[in-house]
Every structure is written in C-alpha cells, then in structure tokens.
C-alpha cells in the first residue's frame, strides 16, 4: 500500500491507496466509485458532479463514452459562433469551441471590420500529407537506393487493397523516396512517403500504407542478391505518419487602402498600419514575443479545428514547427505597406478532414460542418486559416492601440463575478459599473463587497 497526502492548498488527508488491476473492465459507475473514494475529499459531492455532466439521452451518452477509454463523464467546452466572415465572396458563421474569454468576440469584431473592406481571400497552396518508415541499414546509400528503385513497384502492388477506395476518390500514394540521415544518426534512413487523402485527414490510411511498406521492405531485402547477410537484416524501427505537413498549406489574407484603417480614434490609419507592421516584425525578431503572437493565432485556429472534430494537437505541432522552419521561431503572420495598401496575411500548414473520424460520429461536429455548409477539406482549410488570421488581427490591433487588457478583462468580468458567486442582480449592477471603469480582479472584489455592504444599493 502507498500512503499519500493531498497537496497543499486543501485539507490534509492521509489516504491508503494501492494500484488497481482491471480498471478498464469496471462499469462506469464502478470506476466513479473507485476514483471518488480514493482521490476526492467529498466522494458524494464528486460523484454527484460527475453524473450531473452526463447526457440525459442514454444513447448519446453511450456514444460519448465510447469515443475514448475509461470514461466517467463529459467535460463541456462552450461552443460559440463568430458571424460575418466573408471568405472568397461567401458569407460564413464560424463555430468555435473554446473556453477562453474574448476569443469569439475578437474574431467576430475582426470579421465585421473586414466585411466592409472586401472580406478575406484564401487559397490552398498544396494538400500533400507525409508519412515515413524509419529504418537502419548496414550498407552504403548507393546500394540501398538501387534496391529501393527496384522494389518500388512492389510497394505499390502490395498496397493495392489499401489504396483502392482512396484512389477512386482521386487520392492515394504520390511518391516513395529514400532519405539518407546517416549524418545525424549512423545507419539511419527513411522511406519518405507522400499522400493525397482528399477530404479525409487520412491518418489511418497513411499508417496502413506505411506498415505495409515496412513489411515489403523487410521481405524483399531478406532475399535481395545485391546485399550481403548483414545488409539483408534491415531493422525497421517504426512506421508512422508525420504531423509536419509543409506542403499541405493554405494562405489567407486581407488588404485595403491605408485610409480605410480607421480602427482607432487615437491612432491615425497610417500610424496604425505602421504599428501593425512593426508588431509583426517584432514577432519575427523575438521568439518570446512570437510564441505569444502565434498562440493568439491558434486561439482562432484550434477553436474551429475542435468544433469540426479535427485533431488540434496535430495542427498545433505542425504550425509551431513551420514557424521555426528557417532555424529561428517566428511569426506565422506577415504584414506590409505597399503603394498605399495595407496587407496582412498568414501561411499555415493544415491537415484537416471533413469525412471520417468524429465528423461522422459526433452530433455537434456534424451540425457544425452543416453550419459551415458542408465544406470540403480544402474549404475547411481556408476557413480555419481565416479564423486564425482574424484572431491575430484583433489581438495585435488591440495591442498597438488601446492595449489588450481593457477589452479582455471586460469579457472576463463574468468569469470573475461567477467565481465570486455574485447573484444575477449583482452581476447586472457590476456589469453596468464596469462599462465605464477599468476591470481588474481586485476592482471587481472591492465593487462587489461595497455593493453587499450597502444591501444591494447602487453606490458604485
């Protein structure tokens, strides 16, 4: 048995715990009983909270339960709508799933601003996905290249059963190339493979092809007369897709005459444009600023990716790798002033799907894709890139004019008041008060305490 104590910050309670065998085989109720009795201070309250988040529809709850393993409840995330996005002449209302205050409001504000200035332009620059077979070979590169060239038809032949359906949709295997990385790791090579997966994100398809490539590689090398015994013993370490997709790219942009950048009463349109360019240049020059700059972009990107049932962790990883492609981490967005015109744009790697996975299972994901007018994968790439660009424009424009905290804290006010357990009447009075006063956490506490000392009378 193991003794454990609750971390500092709550009641100290010594518990006797021991590892559990067969947790996954327990019913959901048994899992809940086990976890709350051993790891919570008030098991009854914890169990009630977990069950309160179950869906009332048993079939719908079962669907959610089966998405992952060891499910005990649902953890909700707010789903909002950012309207008025004009993209390539089409008007969208974009679903965004996110917990952070001011993101949806900022995206909506940017969408409305650019709606009157021609909207957003977006284009897909490429849709190539990547996967690799990682292996070690004892011989030379030239000999290995000759072998790979000879068995290339075998790779394609052995995967016909996997690629048949994808090929009918216009996708499939694009290329299989040998990459020599022995300068980084002795004996290390890759089969660097590229794919077209059309409207599917394609992870399962790609990984199935790669695992077959690995089997073909081992089988064919074992009997290859051009290798000696040591060379025939190719060691395949792993076969897996890469989430870095620098040739699966989308570009989104906005542009207007500088004179139309009447975004602030305190900053002239020209000064605003110059500050925006300077701000982006700073994010290119300073990784410390670039990380926060790009995080703001991903606020918009991730929210739409999550709402449409795609893998936001893969998108995040690819975006940040791309931001460092030149050897130093920098901004994902760009800005320029040329011939009296201000242009702001983003180029982003995005591997997304609109068929398969959660897109056919999660009811809200299906509804969100319907709200977006059933986009193809390429159309969704454009929508997501625009959401990221809009979010960045809103954040940077606030930073170079009024500062970001004024608007963010006003949006955060309700969260503060809910933490303080303010009543609906108190919320109404305090929201009115802070329309003309700066919001801070301490200021909200003081205002609420003042209100309560006066029995709800508005003396603020």
State the catalytic residue, choosing from 112, 154, 174, 295.
Answer: 295
- The whole-model pTM stands at 0.86
pLDDT tens column, 254-309:
999 999 999 988 899 999 999 999 999 999 999 999 999 999 999 999 999 999 99
Which CATH class for the 80-120+249-402 domain?
Answer: alpha beta
How much is the pLDDT for 59? 93
Distance separating alpha carbons of residues 201 and 354, to the nearest angstrom? 8
How much is the pLDDT for 12? 47
Lowest mean pLDDT among 141-145, 338-342, 455-459: 455-459
Q: Is 334 a catalytic residue?
A: no
State the catalytic residue, choosing from 65, 311, 378, 379.
Answer: 311
Mean pLDDT of the region 118-144: 98
Q: Which of 5-9, 350-354, 409-413, 437-441 is modeled with the greatest confidence?
A: 350-354
Q: Is 295 a catalytic residue?
A: yes
Same fold flag, 80-120+249-402 and 129-242: no
What percentage of the chain has pLDDT greater than the value 70? Answer: 93
Confidence tier at 180 by pLDDT (50, 70, 90): very high
Q: Is 441 a catalytic residue?
A: no
Give the Å distances, CA to CA, from 315 to 33, 100, 124, 333.
Answer: 36, 19, 16, 16
Alpha carbon dihedral 295, 299, 301, 302, in 10-degree steps, equals 100
Mean pLDDT of the region 188-193: 98
Q: Is 100 a catalytic residue?
A: yes
Reported as type and span, the H/E element at residue 84 is strand 79-87
Distance separating alpha carbons of residues 249 and 315, to the nearest angstrom? 12
| 122-125 long-range Cβ contacts below 8 angstroms, 24+ apart | 122/87, 122/88, 122/250, 122/251, 122/252, 122/253, 122/382, 122/383, 122/385, 122/386, 123/250, 123/251, 123/382, 124/249, 124/250, 124/378, 124/381, 124/382, 125/249, 125/250, 125/251, 125/347
Average of per-residue pLDDT values in the chain = 92
State the catalytic residue, choosing from 31, 408, 410, 433.
Answer: 408
Give the residue carrying structure tokens 């870095």. Answer: 244
- Cβ atoms of residues 96 and 75 within 8 Å: no
Distance separating alpha carbons of residues 365 and 36, to the nearest angstrom? 31
E strands, 88-234, in order: 90-97, 121-124, 129-136, 172-180, 188-196
pLDDT tens column, 5-64:
555 544 545 565 688 999 999 999 999 999 999 999 999 999 999 999 999 999 999 999
Protein fold of 129-242? Alpha-Beta Plaits (3.30.70)
How much is the pLDDT for 16? 55
How much is the pLDDT for 71? 96
- Cβ atoms of residues 3 and 14 within 8 Å: yes
Neighbour count for residue 281 (Cβ, 10 Å) = 14
Domain map (residue ranges) of the chain:
23-76, 80-120+249-402, 129-242, 407-453
């Amino acid at each position: 048995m193991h003794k454990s104590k609750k971390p500092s910050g709550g009641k100290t309670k010594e518990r006797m715990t021991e590892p559990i065998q067969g947790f996954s085989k327990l019913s959901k109720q048994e899992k809940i009983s086990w976890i709350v009795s051993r790891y919570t201070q008030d098991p009854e309250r914890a169990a009630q909270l977990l069950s309160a988040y179950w869906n009332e529809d048993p079939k719908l709850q079962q669907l959610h339960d089966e998405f992952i393993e060891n499910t005990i409840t649902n953890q909700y995330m707010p789903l909002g709508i950012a309207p008025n996005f004009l993209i390539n002449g089409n008007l969208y209302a974009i679903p965004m799933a996110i917990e952070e205050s001011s993101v949806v409001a900022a995206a909506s504000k940017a969408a409305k601003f650019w709606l009157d200035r021609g909207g957003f332009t977006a284009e897909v620059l490429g849709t190539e996905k990547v996967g690799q077979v990682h292996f070690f070979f004892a011989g030379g590169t030239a000999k290995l290249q000759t072998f790979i060239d000879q068995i290339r038809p075998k790779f394609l032949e052995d995967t016909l059963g996997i690629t048949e359906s994808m090929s009918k949709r216009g996708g499939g295997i694009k290329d299989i190339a040998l990459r020599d990385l022995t300068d980084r790791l002795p004996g290390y090579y890759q089969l660097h493979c590229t794919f077209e997966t059309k409207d599917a994100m394609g992870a399962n398809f790609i990984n199935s092809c790669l695992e077959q490539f690995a089997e073909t590689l081992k089988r064919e090398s074992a009997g290859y007369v051009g290798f000696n015994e040591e060379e025939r013993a190719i060691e395949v370490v792993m076969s897996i897709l890469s989430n870095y997709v620098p040739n699966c790219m989308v570009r989104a942009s906005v542009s207007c005459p500088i004179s139309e950048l009447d975004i602030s009463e305190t900053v002239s349109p020209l000064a605003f444009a110059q500050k925006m360019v300077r701000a982006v240049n700073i994010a290119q020059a300073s990784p410390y600023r670039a990380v926060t700059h790009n995080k703001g972009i991903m606020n918009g990107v991730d929210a739409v990716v999550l709402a449409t049932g795609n893998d936001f962790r893969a998108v995040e990883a690819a975006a940040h790798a791309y931001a460092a492609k030149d050897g130093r981490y920098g901004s994902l967005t760009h800005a320029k002033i040329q011939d009296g015109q201000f242009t702001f744009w983003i180029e982003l790697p995005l591997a997304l799907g609109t068929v398969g996975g959660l897109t056919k299972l999660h009811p809200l994901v299906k509804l969100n894709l319907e709200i977006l007018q059933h986009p193809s994968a390429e159309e969704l790439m454009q929508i997501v890139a625009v959401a990221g660009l809009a979010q960045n424009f809103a954040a940077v424009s606030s930073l170079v004019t009024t500062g970001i905290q004024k608007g963010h804290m006003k949006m955060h006010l309700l969260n503060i008041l809910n933490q303080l357990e303010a009543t609906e009447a108190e919320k109404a009075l305090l929201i009115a008060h802070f329309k003309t006063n700066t919001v801070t956490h301490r200021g909200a506490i003081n205002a609420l305490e003042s209100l309560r000392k006066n029995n709800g009378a508005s003396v603020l």
